[in-house]
Structure 1
Amino acid sequence: MILKNLPVFLNMENKKVLVVGGGNAALIKIKKLIDFDCDVTVISNDFLIDILEFKNIKIIKKDFEEKDIEGFFLVVAAAESNVNKFVYECAKNKNIFCSVSGGDIKGDFIFPAHKKNDRLTVALSTDGAYPALAKKLCSKIDVSLGDRINFFEEKRKFVIKNVSDKNLKKKILSEIIDDDVIYSENYIEKTENILKRYFYE
């Protein structure tokens, strides 16, 4: 069955996320969550040293209980399959979205392969069919162009502020993000030449 996952970017800053598990599956998810400034709590009886070395997460050494799920925005089940099943059922009863690592339970959301810099985030998924392939394809995407976003954001605001005609505005904005412009080493000069043609000639 092909999953119908909706691609959504959530603002996760300071959102409370519970991770159940202390092994490699949990470690992978924790790294991703920390990257997006989540407030992470991890529950398990045993932890990898790498997990214990994180300074900005809460570690609780115990067996998971249903009451542990209270107050969390998202839950990640990354333990043994029987524990994951119990965690998922608890989350479902509380209407909390839960991601499940491995096993037959698909969970409510997945962690796609992603790359990011300060201004650009790209995510890619095979809907669980071949995660390693998604990771490989994502690795080939160049996010270095994100460094140019501040420049193009400034020019976009300029055009929006100074052009009232809807069709002309769309035309100019399309020209300045043409492949020949955004991928060029001389993207600044080419963009300025386009704007000069419309505003200064």
Structure 2
Amino acid sequence: MIINLNLENKKIIIIGGGNEAEKRIKSVLNEKCEILVISDSINKQISNWVKAKKIKVKKQKIESTKFISELKPDLIITTTNDKKINQKIITSAKKRKIIVYSSDNPEDSDFSNAAIIDFEKMIQVGIFTGGRSPAMSKK
């Protein structure tokens, strides 16, 4: 099933500050939502978005899921290299009925990301592989 979420005025938390986080931020950047990145380091593009006030960043290493109850996000995307913390985030988010995606665990995630082809901002075509072959969907 393909759906398009209305994220307007929603709080999105992205865990991680590398290239995978950058891709996920880019996918929600124009959705009129509040984007908070939590990571101990961020790449140059993410830093540019922070400077342009398009997103916010909280520089800290995630070691627990306490941030979920404190910040009460509507959606969480985790992109860290730490499979254990990613799984803890998935489990904790699901207990709280929060939509969650983990780039290293599409099977446990609530959704998958499509490769989007955008035709003049009027028509979008999404290609899904269910997380099995992201490289194939880009072709």
Same fold flag (TM > 0.5):
yes
Give a deviation string over 1:39-96, Cα, whole Å, max 9, x none: 1100011111211110210100112342312421110011122221121122112111
Note if contact 1:41-1:57 (Cα within 8 Å) is conserved in structure 2.
yes
**What runs of 5+ residues in structure 2 fail to find an aligned partner?**
none
Rounded Cα–Cα distance in structure 2 between residues aligned with 1:94 and 1:103: 19
RMSD: 1.7
Structure with a larger share of its residues in helix: 1
Rounded Cα–Cα distance in structure 1 between residues aligned with 2:78 and 2:121: 29
* Corresponding position of 2:133: 130
* Corresponding position of 2:46: 51
* Corresponding position of 2:84: 82
**What runs of 5+ residues in structure 1 fail to find an aligned partner?**
1-5, 137-201
Rounded Cα–Cα distance in structure 2 between residues aligned with 1:134 and 1:84: 24
* Corresponding position of 2:13: 18
2:34 aligned with 1:39? yes
* Higher RCO (CA < 8 A, seq sep 6+): 2
* Sequence identity (%): 30
Q: 1:8 to 1:105 in 2, by over 3 A?
A: closer
Mapping of residues 1-201 of structure 1, within 5 Å: 6-54=1-49, 55=52, 56-64=54-62, 65-70=64-69, 71-80=72-81, 81-103=83-105, 105-116=107-118, 117-136=120-139
Letter of the 1:69 counterpart: I
Q: How many residues align?
A: 131
Shift of 1:103: 4.4
Note if contact 2:76-2:100 (Cα within 8 Å) is conserved in structure 1.
yes
Rounded Cα–Cα distance in structure 2 between residues aligned with 1:104 and 1:57: 25
TM-score by length of structure 1 reads: 0.60
Tell me the secondary structure at the aligned position of residue 14 of structure 1.
Answer: coil
Q: 1:119 to 1:104 in 2, by over 3 A?
A: closer
